[in-house]
Amino acid sequence: MSRTTRLAALTAFTLLLTACPTTMPHKQGQSTHTQHPPAPTPYNPNLAAGNAVSRGTTLQPTGSSATYRAVSFQELPQWNEQSFGESLAAFQKSCLKLANQAKWQYTCARANQTARTAAAAKAFFEQNFTPWQVSEKGQASGKITGYYEPVLHGDTRNTSAARFPIYGIPSDFVSIPLPAHLRNSKASVRVAPA
């Protein structure tokens, strides 16, 4: 995996994590009364990238107990301390694939027209994205798990793009199904000619 791909994945993961809420300790003398946000609107999975969403807008996916609330970028911890130029470069690289989807074309075009300076990159993100605070059943803290699946491009022969060929499963590969009571165990098999 290239350094740029890792940086893009790390940047996306970091942006996702920085959008997570932070639990603040209750200070004595403060009111414990919380304001209830307006009722969530139905989740729209086709919401086009680059469309502004008003701060305070709430969405709730059907069948989920999670609620998404649009917040300002200033509510993100350490937002002003990010490496915006590097984040923009990673996003521009992501646009090589994203721009194939109609809902990303406008935003990717704007990204490619944006200078890689910190100020221009920061303005790009603030004008084209919305940070969302995710809560479940009204709780301001919780756990989030993200998964990353690398896409590897290879070849069956040594090329400049694929230094190490992938030949596939060897013709003499032996697969032995284990009994149910051993499926979570390790098995080592050695096959020798007779």
pLDDT in tens, 85-120: 999 999 999 999 999 999 899 999 999 999 999 999
pLDDT in tens, 28-44: 444 444 444 455 555 45
Residue 112 is assigned to a structural domain of this protein: yes
More confident residue, 40 or 79: 79
HSE-up of residue 140 (Cα within 13 Å, Cβ side): 10
Residue 73 is assigned to a structural domain of this protein: yes
The whole-angstrom separation of Cα 3 and Cα 90 is 11
Residue 106 is assigned to a structural domain of this protein: yes
69 close to 135: Cβ distance less than 8 angstroms: yes
The whole-angstrom separation of Cα 125 and Cα 131 is 10
**Other beta carbons less than 10 A from residue 132's beta carbon:** 17
Total of domains in the chain: 1
Q: What is the CATH number of the domain that holds 117?
A: 2.40.40.10
Residue 139 β-bridge partners: 136
Residue 91 is assigned to a structural domain of this protein: yes
Angle between helices 84-98 and 3-18 (to 10 degrees): 110
